[in-house]
Amino acid sequence: MSTTSQTEMTRSDVAAVAAPALDVKPVKHDKALIFELSKPGRIGYSLPECDVPETPIESIIPEKLLRKKPAELPEVYEVDVIRHYTALSRRNFGIDNGFYPLGSCTMKYNPKINEDVARFPGFAKIHPYQPEQSVQGALELLYTLQCDLAAITGMDQVTLQPAAGAHGEWTGLMMIRAYHESRGEKRTKVIVPDSSHGTNPASATVAGFETVTIKSDDRGLVDLDALRAAVGPDTAALMLTNPNTLGLFEEQIVEIARIVHDAGGLLYYDGANSNAILGIARPGDMGFDVVHLNLHKTMSTPHGGGGPGAGPVGVKRKLIPFLPAPNVVRKPDGTYGLDHGQPQSIGRVKAFYGNFGILVRAYTYIRSLGAEGLRQVSENAVLNANYMMKRLAPYYDVPFNRPCKHEFVMSGRRQKKLGVRTLDIAKRLLDFGYHPPTIYFPLNVEECIMIEPTETESKETLDAFIDTMIQIAQEAEQNPELVQNAPYTTVVKRLDEATAARKPVLNCSCG
Amino acid sequence: MKHRYLPMTEQDRAEMLKTIGIASVDELFADIPEAVRFKGKLDISEPLNEQAMLRHMRTLSGRNADFDRYASFLGAGIYDHHLPVVVNHVISRSEFYTAYTPYQPEISQGELQAIFEFQSYICELTGMEVANASMYDGATALAEAGALAHGVTKRRKLVVSRAVHPEARAILRTTARGLNLDVVEIGCVDGVTDTAAIASAVDADTAAVIVQSPNFFGCIEDIAAIEPVIHGAGGLLVVSSNPLSLGLLEPPGKLGADIVVGDTQPFGIPASFGGPSCGYFAVTGALMRRMPGRIVGQTVDRDGKRGFVLTLQAREQHIRREKATSNICSNQALLALCASVYLSALGKQGIRDVANLNVQKAHYAANALGSRRGMKLAFASPFFNEFAVHLGDNADIGAINAKLLEHGFIGGYDLGRDYPELKGHMLIAVTEQRTKEEIDQFADRLEELL
pTM: 0.96
pLDDT at residue A10, as a whole number: 42
Of the candidates B120, B177, B272, the beta carbon closest to that of A356 is on: B272
Phi, then psi, of A202 in degrees rounded to 5? -65, -45
Q: Searching chain A, which residue's CA lies closest to the CA of residue B398?
A: A131
Asked whether the bond before A326 is cis by omega within 30 degrees of 0, the reply is yes
CA distance B449 to chain A (A): 17
Q: Name the residue type at position B66.
A: D
Q: At residue A211, does pLDDT exceed 50?
A: yes
Phi, psi torsion values for B369, nearest 5 degrees: -75, -40
What is the sign, positive or negative, of the torsion defined by CA atoms of B48, B51, B56, B57?
Answer: positive
In this prediction, residues A72-101 reach a mean pLDDT of: 98
Higher pLDDT, B324 or A123: A123
- CB–CB of B43 and A371 under 8 A? yes
Q: Residue A342 — very low, low, confident or very high, per pLDDT cuts 50/70/90?
A: confident
Alpha helices in A109-198 (DSSP H): 112-118, 121-124, 136-153, 165-182
B321 with A286: Cβ contact below 8 A: no
CB < 8 Å to B139, chain A: 348, 350-351
A98 touches chain B (CB under 8 A): no
pLDDT tens-digit series, residues A41-83: 999 999 999 999 999 999 999 999 999 999 999 999 999 999 9
Nearest neighbour of A71 by CB, restricted to B63, B247, B435 = B247
CB A345 within 8 A of CB B173: no
Return d(Cα B49, Cα A144) in angstroms, integer. Answer: 18
Confidence of residue A8 (pLDDT cuts 50, 70, 90): very low
Please give the pLDDT value at position A293.
Answer: 98
**C-alpha Rg value of chain A to the nearest Å:** 26
Q: Which residues contact B300 (CB under 8 A, 6 or more apart)?
A: A495, A496, A499, B306, B307
Confidence of residue A6 (pLDDT cuts 50, 70, 90): very low
Of the partner residues B84, B352, B401, the one whose CB lies closest to the CB of residue A131: B401
CA distance A328 to B305: 52
Packing angle, helices A459-478 and B10-20, rounded to 10: 40
CA-nearest residue to A135 within chain B is B64
Q: So what's the pLDDT on residue A242?
A: 96
Strand partners, A210: A189
> CB-based contacts of A404: which residues, under 8 Å, 6+ apart?
A243, A246, A247, A248, A382, A385, A386, A389
State the nearest Cα–Cα gap between B420 and chain A, in angstroms. 16
Amino acid identity, position A193: P
In whole angstroms, give the CA distance from residue B445 to residue B450.
Answer: 9
B45 with A91: Cβ contact below 8 A: no
Q: CA–CA separation, B250 vs A71, rounded Å?
A: 10
Out of B12, B97, B382, the one facing A459 most closely (by C-beta) is: B12
Cβ–Cβ under 8 Å, residues B261 and B126 = no
Residue A9 confidence (pLDDT) above 60: no
- Is the confidence at residue B417, as pLDDT, over 70? yes
pLDDT category, A1, cuts 50, 70, 90? very low
Q: A375 vs A287, A291, B2, B33, CA distance in Å?
A: 21, 19, 12, 17
Residue B312's pLDDT band, with cuts at 50, 70 and 90, is confident
- Is the pLDDT higher at B417 or at A26? B417
Show Cβ contacts of residue A155 under 8 Å, excluding neighbours closer than 6 positions.
A149, A283, A284, A291, A314, A315, A316
Are A121 and B6 an interchain contact pair (Cβ–Cβ within 8 Å)?
Answer: no
The string of DSSP codes covering B247-286 is GTBPPGGGGT-SEEEEE-TTTT---GGG-S--EEEEE-GG
DSSP element (H, E) containing B377: strand B376-377
Q: Is the pLDDT of residue A482 over 80?
A: yes
Do A60 and B382 count as a contact with CB atoms less than 8 A apart? yes
Cβ(B208)–Cβ(B146) under 8 Å? yes
- How many CA atoms does the CB half-sphere of B363 hold within 13 Å? 23
| Residue A130 per-residue DSSP state | S
Mean pLDDT confidence for B383-403: 97
> Is residue B71 helix, strand or coil?
strand
Measured CA to CA in angstroms, residue B215 lies from A408, B77, B358, B388, B424 at distances of: 51, 10, 15, 11, 19
| Residue B27 pLDDT greater than 90, yes or no | yes
Task: Give the largest CA-CA distance in chain A.
Answer: 78
pLDDT, tens digit, 9 for 90 and up, residues B164-185: 999 999 999 999 999 999 999 9
Cα–Cα distance for residue pair B100/B103, rounded to 1 Å? 8
CA of B200 vs chain A CAs: smallest distance (Å):
25
Nearest residue in chain B measured CA to CA from A300: B98
CB A482 within 8 A of CB A19: yes
What is the least distance, in Å, from the CA of A414 to any CA of chain B?
A: 23
Contacts of B38 in chain A (CB under 8 A): 154, 279-282, 285
With 90 as the cut, is the pLDDT of residue A232 above it?
yes
Cα of B108 to nearest chain A Cα, Å: 4
Determine phi and psi for A223, rounding to 5 degrees. Answer: -80, 110
Rounded Cα gap, residues A196 and A123, in angstroms: 36
Distances from the Cα of A129 to the Cαs of A285, B29, B59, B262, in angstroms? 37, 46, 21, 19
* Residues in chain A within 8 Å Cβ distance of B220: 61, 65
Domains of chain A: 115-367 (3.40.640.10), 369-497 (3.90.1150.10)
What average pLDDT does this structure show over B66-88?
A: 98
Residue A6 DSSP code: G
Contact B107 A141 (CB under 8 A): no
Neighbours of A483 (CB within 10 A): 24
Grade residue B318 by pLDDT with cuts at 50, 70 and 90.
low
| Residue B192 C-alpha, separation from nearest chain A C-alpha, in angstroms | 14
Q: How is domain B86-341 classified at the CATH fold level?
A: Aspartate Aminotransferase; domain 2 (3.40.640)
Q: Give dist(CA B167, CA A251) in Å, integer.
A: 43
Is the CATH number 3.90.1150.10 carried by domain B71-83+347-449? yes
End-to-end CA distance of chain B: 61
Of the candidates B107, B318, B325, the beta carbon closest to that of A93 is on: B107
Q: Which amino acid is at A215?
A: K
CB contact under 8 A, B38 and A308: no
The answer to whether A283 faces chain B, any CB pair under 8 Å, is: no
The closest of A267, A194, A165, A241 to B321, measured between CA atoms, is A194
DSSP state of B415: G
pLDDT tens for A187-210 read: 999 999 998 888 999 999 999 999
Do A473 and B86 meet the contact criterion of CB atoms below 8 Å apart? no
Stretch A177-188: mean pLDDT: 98
- Rounded Cα distance, A293 and A313, in Å: 7
- The residue-averaged pLDDT of B319-331 equals 79
Whether residue B58 has pLDDT greater than 90: yes
User: What beta strand segments (E) does A296-365 contain?
Assistant: 313-315, 327-330, 336-339
pLDDT > 70: percent of chain B: 98
Residue from B269, B317, B428, B435 whose CB has the most chain A CBs within 10 Å, to mutate: B317
Model-level ipTM above the cut of 0.95: yes
- Does pLDDT of A18 surpass 50? no
How confident is the model at residue B319, as a pLDDT? 63
CA distances from A383 to A93, A344, A390, A435 (A): 26, 44, 11, 21
Q: What is the mean pLDDT of residues A23-28?
A: 48
DSSP-based three-state secondary structure for B5: coil
CA A287, CA A269: separation in Å to the nearest integer? 9
- Give the separation between CA B377 and CA B364, rounded to whole angstroms: 12
- CA distance linking residue B440 with residue B435, whole number of Å: 9
DSSP letter string, B160-196: EETTS-HHHHHHHHHHHHHHT-EEEEE-EETTEE-HH
The CA-based angle A142-A144-A150, given to 5 degrees, is: 100
Chain A (215-244) residues lying within 8 Å, Cβ to Cβ, of chain B: none
CA dist A312 and A157 (Å) reads: 10
Three-class SS state of B404: helix
Candidates A9, A30, A57, A92, partner chain B, best to mutate (most B CBs within 10 A): A92
Q: Which of B113, B305, B329 sits opposite A88 (nearest CB)?
A: B113
Give strand pairing partners of B182.
B157
Output the pLDDT for position B323: 74
Q: Cβ(B385)–Cβ(B362) under 8 Å?
A: yes
Residues 6+ apart with CB under 8 A from B26: none
Q: Give Cβ neighbours of residue B449 (< 8 Å, ≥ 6 apart).
A: B400, B403, B404
Determine the average pLDDT of the residues in A99-110. Answer: 97
Which has the higher per-residue pLDDT, B135 or A28?
B135
**Is the separation of the CB atoms in A103 and A450 below 8 Å?**
yes
CA–CA dist A399, A410 (Å, integer): 6
Give pLDDT, residue A5: 42
What SS3 class is residue A158? Answer: strand
Tell me the chain B residues in contact with residue A207 when contact means C-beta distances shorter than 8 Å. 178
As a whole number, the mean pLDDT across chain A is: 94
Name the nearest CA neighbour of A406 among A456, A454, A466: A454
- Whether A95 shows a pLDDT value over 50: the answer reads yes
Looking at residue A29, its pLDDT comes to 64
**Residue A23 confidence (pLDDT) above 80:** no
pLDDT per position as a tens digit, B134-156: 999 999 999 999 999 999 999 99
Task: Kindly state the DSSP code that residue A8 receives in the 8-state scheme.
Answer: G
Of A279, A403, A493, the CB nearest to B42: A279
* Cis peptide upstream of residue A308 (ω within 30 degrees of 0): yes
Residues in chain B closer than 8 A to A268 (CB atoms): none
Residue A432 has pLDDT above 70, yes or no: yes
Mean pLDDT of chain B: 96
Q: How many CB pairs under 8 A join A and B?
A: 721
Ranges of CATH 3.40.640.10 domains, chain B: 86-341
Task: Summarize pLDDT for B203-255 with one digit per residue, the tens.
Answer: 999 999 999 999 999 999 999 999 999 999 999 999 999 999 999 999 999 99
Locate CATH 3.90.1150.10 in chain B: 71-83+347-449
Query: Please, which residues bridge with residue B299 across strands?
Result: B307
* Residues 352 through 411 of chain A touching chain B, CB cutoff 8 Å: 352-358, 360, 364, 366-377, 379-380, 382-384, 386-387, 390-391, 402-403, 405
Find the CB nearest B98 among A302, A374, A376. A302
> Which of B311, B323, B364 lies at the smallest CB-CB distance from A53?
B364
Cα dihedral B16, B22, B26, B29 in deg (nearest 10): -90
